Amino acid sequence: MTTTAEKRARFRRLHASGCFVMPNPWDVGSARFLQNMGFKALATTSAGFAWSRGLADGEVARDAMLAHIAELSAAADVPMNADFEGGYAHDPAGVAESVRLCVETGVSGLSIEDFTGDRERALYPFDDAVARVRAARGAIDRAGGGVVLTGRSEGFIRGRPDLDETVRRLAAYAAAGADCLYAPGLATREQIAAVVEAVEPKPVNVLMGGPSDLTVRDLEDLGVRRISIGGALARAAWGGMIRAARLIAEAGSFKGFADAAPGADVVKGLRG
């Protein structure tokens, strides 16, 4: 079994060069299956886990999320990054306390975003957002262990698609101590290249949460170091379930099971 220290060191090395895909499981089974497919690192998905609990994204309480992160970190032999939303606090001191608790789960990395939770005032004011990242950095440093901190700006997926402001925020988060920078919702080569240039040499994470003509090679050529997919795999699983269940409920048909994975293939993937 790989130790927490080994996983954290490996995760940090992955960010040093090249480009890797970090898919997002939502339970132990999906984590082990993805690990056994050869992915070098994984990340939790706040949305995927919330749906598994019958909740909307953002509705999972901190203690439940911490338990989930700890479970997935322990279940995988590869590094696990935590989608830690906004740090479950508004003020920097509260973010620091939450980050301390997250580090104790054994996770290899975590992200702090600047979404307030209120769509009317979607992003924290600039100085407040920077202070929150700085507080997270301080908490990680005091805890030791080399957890990778990702600074995440949410404007493009929260109705504030301003590239200049996104670049300004990410550059400030980098200066405040973020090891990796992330702006979910970037869609064009030009947007991605602008973010990579603004924060280099620090690594950039890009979200690929839907169909795209961009490939892993394309993103690597743009300078992207890390690719995550958020809740996309969970949505794909839910999509298959919804389509099959709808056929039964509305047409009395079981043809929706045609693409279901054989049980033997599931067990084989879980065991590696």
Instruction: Supply the angle between the helices 189-199 and 163-175 in degrees, to the nearest 10.
Output: 30
Q: Is residue 196 part of a domain?
A: yes
pLDDT for 133 = 98
Write the single-letter amino acid at 27.
D
Range of the domain at 40: 4-232
- The CATH number for 88's domain is 3.20.20.60
Cα→Cα distances 155→139, 179, 185, Å:
25, 20, 8
Residues of the chain with pLDDT under 70: none
Q: How many residues are given for the chain?
A: 272
Quick: pLDDT tens for 150-207.
999 999 999 999 999 999 999 999 999 999 999 999 999 999 999 999 999 999 999 9
Distance CA 167, CA 174 (A): 11
pLDDT for 24 = 98
Q: Is residue 247 part of a domain?
A: no
Q: Is residue 21 part of a domain?
A: yes
pTM of the model: 0.96
Quick: pLDDT tens for 152-161.
999 999 999 9
Q: Is residue 240 part of a domain?
A: no
Q: Is residue 111 part of a domain?
A: yes
Q: Is residue 120 part of a domain?
A: yes
Tokens standing for residue 77: 């032999």
Tally of structural domains, the chain? 1
- Who contacts 224 (Cβ-Cβ below 8 Å, separation ≥6)? 19, 192, 196, 204, 205, 206
Query: C-alpha angle with apex 187: 127 to 166, nearest 5 degrees?
Result: 10
pLDDT for 244 = 98
- Who contacts 174 (Cβ-Cβ below 8 Å, separation ≥6)? 151, 181, 199, 202
Peptide bond into 203 cis (omega under 30): no
Residue tagged 């054994």 (tokens): 106
Q: What is the dihedral of CA 43, 127, 172, 166, to 10 degrees?
A: 70
Q: Is residue 263 part of a domain?
A: no
Residue 266, CB-side half-sphere exposure with 13 Å CA sphere: 7
pLDDT for 1 = 82
Q: Is residue 215 part of a domain?
A: yes
Question: What's the burial of 210, exposed, middle or buried (CB within 10 Å: 0-12/13-18/19+)?
Answer: exposed
pLDDT for 145 = 82
Q: Name the DSSP class of 254.
A: -
CB 248 within 8 A of CB 264: no
